[in-house]
A and B are shown apart, each in its own frame.
Chain A
Amino acid sequence: MLPAPTPAPPAAPTANPAEAVLTIANVSLAFGENHVLQDFSLTLLRGENIVVMGKSGAGKSVLIKCVIGLLQTDSGTITVLGQDVAALDHNGLDRLRTKLGFLFQSNALYDSMTVRDNLLFPLRRQWLTHTPAQEAELVKQALEDVGLADTAAKMPAELSGGMRKRIALARTLILRPEIILYDEPTTGLDPITGREIDHLIREVQKKYNTSALIISHDLACVRLTADRVALLSEGRCYAEDTYAGMQANADPQVHDFFV
């Protein structure tokens, strides 16, 4: 859609396509007696989209919050772009987060800021320096990427649900992340807007060569966005395959999700 940005480093398109950018190995996490994750393992390759499915309350959102360091695991390791998340100090985690994007289920746009300030917030807080002209260009480009170029001066409250989701994605894209974590990106949206978001996820993947871990139980979203699908059940990765493979799986637990 637009020329590549000048200030921020783009994702490495020349890297080995089979390289694992995210490895979740034998991760367990319990809240009291509730064992949310038990020996969960999954590997995300560069340029790949994996959708993690599971029942509500199965621990899908907990899983991606562990990946980005918002929650600490009890055991196991999570390696993101070659770095063990648990071993990083605060500054190390901040630096790693410049390469990770997180799209919150509730969008988490800052109510008190305009769309422009929402987009500039991560840019100004990270260990990156940009001139005002570069900042303006990045904001313009991020908004054009999500098809909302004329909303910079608006407040989040003035936008529809779908627009807020797009702005949240633009805020994620502005740092040019190598991996994007999507927490239920189409939940609460009408089917048409949901499909638009699904296509946007694919466009972002192609344009910036991002890898994505997507949490969803919206079958249309899974079909349109997933290169691979993982089923989270009873805290572990119960099944893992392509969408077609999962659909053809005769196991009742897997089959029930794809009816």
Chain B
Amino acid sequence: MSVSSILAETGTVTRFAGRVFREGFRPRFEVQELLYQCYVIGYQSLPLVGLTGFIMGLVLTLRLRPTMVQFGADSWIPVMVGMTIIQEMGPIITGLMVAGKVGSNIGAELSSMRVTEQIDAMSVSGTNPFKYLVVTRVLAATLMVPVLTVLSDAIGLFAAYVGINTNGVTTVALFTNQIVARLTFGDVLPAVIKTFFFGFAIGLIGCYKGYYADKGTEGVGRAANSAVVAGSLAVFLLDLLAVLISSLLGLY
């Protein structure tokens, strides 16, 4: 892929995002479809995101423990694991899991609807397909990824507590106090805010790839695949951007 084609694609996606905002603020509002998409994107992704969050918390704790014990800093494990999960691992892992599950789902669904003329059928039925299909999915992803991240963080912290207790006894109060005492708004707020952008990017890219898919079954596969790849890459790029902005603002 040449630089010019990447820039051209970025321009097209930006215009697509502009249309999402334009159409999103104009009635009629597709509230019922939005709620359904929140259910699909949020609730149905919860088992996957929860499981990965649990494994992430447990593995981090078990891997960190020998090193921390070596330096006599095992009492710092809750803080280190907590900070890592809340600031980076929780948002990133959740973003990647949602990009994989939801991004591919949106890309494949919309592209197959395009191929089988279902999107045209919606237009003929007096429905604005962009508003009904794209705006609702982008908004649902934007709202649900932060919720999933917070839940994944909580499950990850619980797993960290379980991990610590495999080698000794730590009370829930002590574990919680150690994390909460070290956390500031500067730690939590940027981590939560960036997940809104993760969700927006995942929804937007999935919809863009699906809505403008090539005709034919090959186009469906390509749309699903590129939605995952581009969505995951967007999560990393936005995370890098969030870290740079937080550093510039002196939040870290």
Which B107-158 residues have C-beta < 8 A from chain A? 112-113, 116-118, 120-121, 123-128
CB of A108 within 8 A of CB of B117, answer yes
A125 to B131, CA, bound (A): 13
A41 to B121, CA, bound (A): 25
**Residue in contact with A70 in the complex, picked from B113, B116, B123, CB distance below 8 Å:** B123
Which A60-92 residues have C-beta < 8 A from chain B? 65, 68-70, 90
Q: Which residues of A contact B113 (CB under 8 A)?
A: 111
CB of A106 within 8 A of CB of B125, answer no
CB-nearest residue of chain B to A118: B121
CB of A102 within 8 A of CB of B112, answer no
CB-nearest residue of chain B to A122: B125
A127 to B127, CA, bound (A): 11
A68 to B117, CA, bound (A): 14
CB of B124 within 8 A of CB of A97, answer yes
**Residue in contact with A122 in the complex, picked from B112, B117, B126, B128, CB distance below 8 Å:** B126
Q: Which residues of B contact A94 (CB under 8 A)?
A: 126
Any B CB within 8 A of the CB of A104: yes
CB of B121 within 8 A of CB of A110, answer yes
Q: How far is the CB of B55 from chain A (nearest CB, A)?
A: 32
CB-nearest residue of chain B to A95: B126
CB-nearest residue of chain B to A61: B117
A100 to B125, CA, bound (A): 10
A105 to B128, CA, bound (A): 21
CB-nearest residue of chain A to B127: A125
A53 to B127, CA, bound (A): 30
A69 to B125, CA, bound (A): 12
Any B CB within 8 A of the CB of A233: no
**Residue in contact with A121 in the complex, picked from B116, B120, B125, CB distance below 8 Å:** B125
CB of B118 within 8 A of CB of A111, answer yes
**Residue in contact with B118 in the complex, picked from A65, A97, A100, A108, CB distance below 8 Å:** A108
CB of B126 within 8 A of CB of A127, answer yes
Q: Interface code A206-249, partner B: CB below 8 Å = 1, 0 otherwise?
A: 00000000000000000000000000000000000000000000
A94 to B124, CA, bound (A): 8
CB of B125 within 8 A of CB of A105, answer no
Any B CB within 8 A of the CB of A126: yes
- Interface residue total, chain A, C-beta cutoff 8 A: 23
Q: Which of B126, B127, B128 has the most CB of A within 10 A?
A: B126
Q: Which residues of A contact B117 (CB under 8 A)?
A: 104-106, 108
Q: Which residues of A contact B125 (CB under 8 A)?
A: 97, 121-122, 125-126
**Residue in contact with B116 in the complex, picked from A65, A69, A106, CB distance below 8 Å:** A106
CB of A98 within 8 A of CB of B126, answer yes
Q: How far is the CB of A168 from chain B (nearest CB, A)?
A: 9
Q: How far is the CB of A124 from chain B (nearest CB, A)?
A: 9
Q: How far is the CB of A107 from chain B (nearest CB, A)?
A: 8
A88 to B127, CA, bound (A): 16
CB of B127 within 8 A of CB of A68, answer no
CB of B116 within 8 A of CB of A108, answer yes
Q: Interface code B88-121, partner A: CB below 8 Å = 1, 0 otherwise?
A: 0000000000000000000000001100111011
Q: Which residues of A contact B123 (CB under 8 A)?
A: 69-70
Q: How far is the CB of A156 from chain B (nearest CB, A)?
A: 10
Q: Which residues of B contact A69 (CB under 8 A)?
A: 123
Q: Which residues of B contact A97 (CB under 8 A)?
A: 124-126
CB-nearest residue of chain A to B128: A90
Which A107-145 residues have C-beta < 8 A from chain B? 107-111, 121-122, 125-127
CB-nearest residue of chain B to A172: B124
Q: How far is the CB of B112 from chain A (nearest CB, A)?
A: 7
A68 to B120, CA, bound (A): 10
A105 to B112, CA, bound (A): 15
Q: Which residues of B contact A106 (CB under 8 A)?
A: 116-117
Q: How far is the CB of A230 from chain B (nearest CB, A)?
A: 22
Q: Which residues of B contact A68 (CB under 8 A)?
A: 124
Q: Which residues of B contact A98 (CB under 8 A)?
A: 126
Pairs A–B under 8 Å by Cβ, sample size 18? A65-B120, A68-B124, A69-B123, A70-B123, A94-B126, A98-B126, A102-B121, A104-B117, A105-B117, A106-B117, A108-B117, A109-B118, A111-B112, A111-B113, A121-B125, A121-B127, A126-B125, A126-B126
18 further A-B pairs in the complex, CB-CB below 8 A; given A109-B118, A109-B121: A68-B124, A70-B123, A97-B125, A98-B126, A100-B124, A102-B124, A105-B117, A106-B117, A108-B116, A108-B118, A108-B120, A108-B121, A110-B121, A111-B113, A122-B124, A122-B125, A125-B125, A125-B127
Binding site for B on A (CB under 8 A): 65, 68-70, 90, 94, 97-98, 100, 102, 104-111, 121-122, 125-127
- 5 smallest CB-CB distances across A and B, nearest first, come from A108-B121, A122-B125, A108-B117, A94-B126, A125-B127
